[in-house]
Chains A and B, each alone.
Chain A
């Protein structure tokens, strides 16, 4: 179980204040969507939660312990991270790539055990890419590669998962698959935090949405409360049709305001 808390957190990228005074409490078992326009500070927020950027103000704590005081390996065992984009610098086979997810659990000289290999296979199966075993990851289609990278994050087996735009380059079917999977992770007790651009998916699957605007968290709550016409007009500068389907909002962006 992992709880992440931020308190009056600020991040500067150079002179630009990317995140300002964000206070959040993220308990286990939630699927939290972070939404907001480009440059709103979504990625900086989650990178700060992982201790990947230095804070200019405030603090981040994982299970009550300050991130700055935790070793990289301790953070890695608590939170799996799926970075934005599909950076792959070497043409590794799919299973080798996914096996990198076991690194936080290995000692300096130990090798992958059969148990690790089984977890790798399980992660491949959950991301629906078991059939890609043996293929070279850099030669896959964008959608296949995105799911292989998700499997890599799942292979960590951490009690929390932070995913930066996991739906980019996926077709609608696979977008639903990935959101179902993230949702199932949260149901099983994991804390799942994901940056999303697709407001429809965010509304349909997330338990809670955090709306970022110019570095600040301007709204935080259930999708129905966050995805209001006023909020969308103010933050995204759009007019949207908002309907309801099975108690959840359905969003259709219509025009610029």
Chain B
């Protein structure tokens, strides 16, 4: 049965892309390092400059690209399945905006300078508070609409908070710092960031990846799914916690990176039988590969200051919308 869920070459292809992205992320960058020097570092030797660049800069950056991208792709796929809406993406529950607000607060109040992890930890805390708010607002109903409305309320509130911090920021440089963080980047991240994001992503992914069958059953609507033995209240709880923890952790270390969670499931879906369960794992792998490739892109595209990751992924998102629009209008 499982062989028919997906195109037989989909998973091998995604794994290949993942390996290529990971290798590219370590080997490509602003400072060229010759293959001999890389090999020396991999063997445990090598010169200090090459070691510092490869091990301390590029390797954590690559790991974060995989973690953040994988979480965004998986969350997007799970949310699209749960909400039965192909335009759903990880930010729909408001957790990513809330996490961004937490990070912005850390910058605004100067906590970010006091400790390297003050910003990501505050972002995760804000994401957790947002889940609490989501529970209170959405209530126990099974309808996806209440969840969307509650998510929009939280996202709007967090967005207002971010705008307020820009509005009240004491000087243009502080505002610029916040703006720049909000655009999303994996620049200058350390293993501390990897270790902050890792548990969040692991917990979040574990909560989401096991719910494929529930999402499949929801093809028949809420009554249909429940009559097939699905306990929607628990499914909804797992989904909310999984997205909020995972995406909160991802945003905390990378800033707001949109569209990965939206695009990737759409790229994967045509290569599967279109059941929600079939796209979960591939979307995770695809998201990891896509974000890591995008991160290589921002390093290699020559601009005066490094291009921000969120800007590039937003640009990638536009063609996907256009293709959808053209299909709806039957132009293509």
A-side residues, CB < 8 A to B, are: 47, 50, 52, 71-77, 79-81, 83, 85, 87-93, 96-97, 99-101, 103-104, 106, 108, 111-112, 117, 149, 152, 156
Please list 20 pairs of residues, one from A and one from B, whose beta carbons are closer than 8 Å in the complex, sorted by A's number: A71-B231, A72-B226, A72-B229, A73-B229, A75-B227, A75-B229, A77-B229, A81-B223, A90-B84, A90-B219, A90-B274, A90-B276, A96-B275, A99-B1, A100-B228, A103-B229, A104-B229, A108-B213, A149-B220, A152-B220
**In the complex, what residues of B have CB within 8 A of residue A72's CB?**
226, 229-231
**In the complex, what residues of A have CB within 8 A of residue B116's CB?**
none
Which B residues from 83 to 103 make CB contacts under 8 A with A? 84
**In the complex, what residues of B have CB within 8 A of residue A77's CB?**
229
Q: Give the contact-size bracket for chain B.
A: 20 to 34
Which 5 pairs of residues, A with B, have the shortest CB-CB distance? A76-B229, A81-B227, A73-B229, A89-B84, A87-B221
Contact of B275 among A73, A80, A92, A156 (CB under 8 A): A92
Given A89-B84, A104-B229, 9 more pairs with CB closer than 8 A: A81-B227, A83-B221, A90-B276, A92-B219, A96-B273, A97-B219, A99-B1, A100-B217, A101-B228
Q: Which residue of B lies closest to A91 (CB)?
A: B274
B211 smallest CB distance to A (angstroms): 10
Bound-complex Cα distance A149 to B228 (A) = 13
Bound-complex Cα distance A111 to B84 (A) = 23
B226 near A100: Cβ-Cβ < 8 Å: no
Residue picked from A79, A89, A99, A156, most chain B C-beta under 10 Å: A89
**In the complex, what residues of B have CB within 8 A of residue A91's CB?**
274
Residue picked from B210, B229, B231, most chain A C-beta under 10 Å: B229
**In the complex, what residues of B have CB within 8 A of residue A47's CB?**
223
A103 near B213: Cβ-Cβ < 8 Å: yes
Q: Which residue of A lies closest to B215 (CB)?
A: A90
**In the complex, what residues of A have CB within 8 A of residue B220's CB?**
83, 87-89, 100, 149, 152
Contact of B227 among A80, A87, A108 (CB under 8 A): A80
Bound-complex Cα distance A76 to B217 (A) = 12
B279 smallest CB distance to A (angstroms): 10
Interface residue? B188 (CB, 8 A): no
**In the complex, what residues of B have CB within 8 A of residue A76's CB?**
227-229
Q: Which residue of A lies closest to B234 (CB)?
A: A72
Contact of B217 among A74, A87, A103, A149 (CB under 8 A): A103
Q: Is the contact region of chain A dominated by helix, strand, or loop, or is it mixed? A: mixed
What are the interface flags for B197-235 relative to A under an 8 Å C-beta threshold, 1 for contact and 0 otherwise? 000000000000010010011111101101111110000
**In the complex, what residues of A have CB within 8 A of residue B1's CB?**
99, 111-112, 117
B277 smallest CB distance to A (angstroms): 10
**In the complex, what residues of A have CB within 8 A of residue B275's CB?**
90, 92, 96
**In the complex, what residues of B have CB within 8 A of residue A50's CB?**
226-227
A103 near B230: Cβ-Cβ < 8 Å: yes
What are the interface flags for B128-161 relative to A under an 8 Å C-beta threshold, 1 for contact and 0 otherwise? 0000000000000000000000000000000000
Q: Is the contact region of chain B dominated by helix, strand, or loop, or is it mixed? A: helix
B82 smallest CB distance to A (angstroms): 10
Interface residue? B167 (CB, 8 A): no
**In the complex, what residues of A have CB within 8 A of residue B228's CB?**
76, 100-101, 103-104, 156
A27 smallest CB distance to B (angstroms): 21
A156 smallest CB distance to B (angstroms): 8
Q: Which residue of B lies closest to A84 (CB)?
A: B223
B90 smallest CB distance to A (angstroms): 20
**In the complex, what residues of A have CB within 8 A of residue B304's CB?**
none
Residue picked from B216, B219, B221, B274, most chain A C-beta under 10 Å: B219
Bound-complex Cα distance A73 to B213 (A) = 13
A89 near B219: Cβ-Cβ < 8 Å: yes
**In the complex, what residues of B have CB within 8 A of residue A104's CB?**
228-229
Bound-complex Cα distance A99 to B4 (A) = 13
Bound-complex Cα distance A41 to B228 (A) = 23
A100 near B216: Cβ-Cβ < 8 Å: yes
A102 smallest CB distance to B (angstroms): 9
B218 near A106: Cβ-Cβ < 8 Å: no
Bound-complex Cα distance A152 to B2 (A) = 19
What are the interface flags for B1-18 relative to A under an 8 Å C-beta threshold, 1 for contact and 0 otherwise? 110000000000000000
Contact of A100 among B84, B210, B219 (CB under 8 A): B219
A137 smallest CB distance to B (angstroms): 9
B273 near A93: Cβ-Cβ < 8 Å: yes
**In the complex, what residues of B have CB within 8 A of residue A93's CB?**
273
B156 smallest CB distance to A (angstroms): 27
B223 near A52: Cβ-Cβ < 8 Å: yes
Q: A89-B218, A91-B274, A92-B273 given as contacts; is B227 within 8 A of A52 (CB)?
A: yes
**In the complex, what residues of A have CB within 8 A of residue B227's CB?**
50, 52, 75-76, 79-81, 83
B210 near A108: Cβ-Cβ < 8 Å: yes
Q: Which residue of B lies closest to A106 (CB)?
A: B213
Bound-complex Cα distance A211 to B226 (A) = 27
A154 smallest CB distance to B (angstroms): 13
**In the complex, what residues of B have CB within 8 A of residue A85's CB?**
221
A55 smallest CB distance to B (angstroms): 16
B27 smallest CB distance to A (angstroms): 38
